[in-house]
Amino acid sequence: MRNHALDLLRILACLAVITIHTSGVPIMRNLLEVGSAEYIECLILNALCHWSVPVFVMLTGYFMLDSSKDLTIKRLFTKNILRLVVSLFFWSALYALYYNKNLFPLGSQEGHLWYVGMIIGVYLAIPILRLISKNFLILRYFSWTWVAFMCYNFCGNFVELPIEFQDTIFVDYVGYALFAYYIKSLLYCDQGDMTCRRISVIIYIVGLFGLFFMLVPLILTMDSETPFVGYTSPGVIAVSVAVFTYFVRQPINFSEKVGKLIENCSNCAYGIYLVHIWFLVQVFNRLHRYIQQPLIHILICVLIAFVGGYCVTFIIKKIPILKKFVV
């Protein structure tokens, strides 16, 4: 029976991304009084979902870096990267047409499409990362060096660094993909279940410290742009790794009917991500007239955007050419 844990994780990450975009609107538009209970609720909810983008990248590393699975450079470009490039231009053009009544420039795209450009860069590095993943010592070296660089660069938000490392391979999101495979190697190596449990417990404890490291500065500053909640900040790294580890460690199985629905939603997650902003634009202001409680308003918007995105993606997947390249 298929383990649906990672399918469920992908769905939850998709819901969390939509929640980030929904809960951020009242803050960015100054719809709530700074320091009010509602403002703090939206601020915390937004931060609590910041593990989602890193986990999407980690899922890519988990599946793509397995050297036991054949992946040629030709297949990588013709199947994976080509699909991402085409979908980026397709949805960028649609959003440009919707907002500007013009297909050009294609740079007039929705902000959430930055992720597609970033993940294309990660995919371009996959052949090199697969070579690294074959050697556990090099894999461990790269993973912890990446963490060290991220922590070092994070300190640059507060003090002038004696050395500024520019454009190294140990920066930003590529490390998430490799660190995910490092976690996978740690938890599935021949070192006994008790050792794996201890490793998991340590990761969870560090994740709790990371959560504290995110939330306390956020609440004290009331600043949604604080570097403490950045996608590559130490706190978010710790929380993301903890969430990822939990689902990797926990086999989850559903009945055949529910499991099929979970698989379908998981397979549609990328399409939902691409589409969901359109639904949020359509429903956010309309619902705000009738629902004044921010959390209830956010929850309903998230559900509408997710279900709407799923329906659109499901329909597109029935069209052969669009299914292959658009979602």
What angle in degrees, to the nearest 10, is found between the helix axes of 5-28 and 234-249? 150
- What pTM does this model have? 0.92
Nearest to 83 by CA among 281, 277, 316: 316
C-alpha triplet 290, 17, 169: angle, nearest 5° = 155
Sign of the four-CA dihedral 233, 184, 144, 201: positive
Name residues whose C-beta falls within 8 Å of residue 18's C-beta, 6 or more positions apart in sequence.
Answer: 272, 276, 280, 302, 305, 306
Q: Residue 45: which domain range?
A: 29-259
Q: Are 209 and 239 in contact (CB under 8 A)?
A: no
Is 304 inside any structural domain? no
Is 8 inside any structural domain? no
Half-sphere exposure (CA, 13 Å, Cβ side) for 311? 6
Query: How many residues in total does the chain contain?
Result: 327
Is 41 inside any structural domain? yes
3-state SS, 95-133, equals HHHHHHCCCCCCCCCCHHHHHHHHHHHHHHHHHHHHHHH
Half-sphere exposure (CA, 13 Å, Cβ side) for 192? 3
Is 246 inside any structural domain? yes
Q: What is the DSSP string of 169-201?
A: TTSTTHHHHHHHHHHHHHHTSSS-HHHHHHHHH
Nearest to 43 by CA among 29, 23, 28: 23
pLDDT under 70: residue ranges of the chain: 1, 101-110, 166-170, 189-192, 289-290, 292
pLDDT in the model for residue 144 = 94
Count the neighbouring beta carbons within 10 Å of the beta carbon of residue 256: 9
Residue 230 structure tokens: 């950045």
Q: What is the DSSP string of 120-170?
A: HHHHHHHHHHHHHHTSHHHHHHHHHHHHHHHHHHHHTTTS--SS---S-TT
Q: Express each pLDDT in 176-214 by its tens digit.
A: 999 999 999 888 755 557 778 888 999 999 999 999 999
Is 282 inside any structural domain? no
Total number of domains constituting the chain: 1
Half-sphere exposure (CA, 13 Å, Cβ side) for 72? 3
Is 265 inside any structural domain? no
Residue 295 structure tokens: 């959390």
Q: Are 87 and 327 in contact (CB under 8 A)?
A: yes
pLDDT in the model for residue 285 = 76
Is 12 inside any structural domain? no
Nearest to 174 by CA among 261, 61, 47: 61
* CA 207 to chain CA centroid, nearest Å: 17
Is 311 inside any structural domain? no
